[in-house]
Structure 1
């Protein structure tokens, strides 16, 4: 796994809307340092970085970055109580025909 991805993953989930501007800017800077496309291993690791909300759009960018890797990342239904971003990744895989509908 490349060091840029390791650093981003090591800092954990994205902060929520209540985070300081500095914290959000720091995470965005880390995120923007990740070269595209990501590997399958990197995509699977990045899935753990979704936070409780969209972090001012950063979560959408993270979803799109994950989708630059080999798809699908989530191959089983994460369940009704899953993080909304895990649910979106799975649903996009189903809607894109990459995962059979259950």
Structure 2
């Protein structure tokens, strides 16, 4: 796993909307340091970094980065809104058999 991915993953899930602007900017900078495509191992580790909300849109950037890796990352429906989105997108793309949700 590349060092920039390890750094992002080591800091844990994305913060929520109550985080300071500095904290969000720091996580955005970490995420921007990771260039796709990501490996399957990196994608799986990054998939554990979704926070409780969209973190002012940062969760979308994380989701799109994960999708640059070999799919599917998630093969069963996980807990958590953003992990559900990632899984449902793989279902709709025909990468996983399952029942997709309504999220885009």
TM more than 0.5? yes
Query: CA RMSD, aligned part only?
Result: 0.8
1:1-102 → structure 2 map (5 Å cutoff): 1-78=1-78, 82-101=79-98
Deviation at 1:63, TM superposition (A): 0.3
The alignment's TM-score, normalised by the length of structure 1, stands at 0.94
How many residue pairs align between the two structures?
A: 99
The alignment's TM-score, normalised by the length of structure 2, stands at 0.92
Unaligned 5+ segments in structure 2 are 100-104
Deviation at 1:101, TM superposition (A): 2.6
Please give the alpha-carbon distance, in whole angstroms, between the structure 1 residues aligned to 2:65 and 2:35.
Answer: 9
Deviation at 1:100, TM superposition (A): 1.3
Deviation at 1:72, TM superposition (A): 0.6
Please give the alpha-carbon distance, in whole angstroms, between the structure 1 residues aligned to 2:60 and 2:69.
Answer: 15
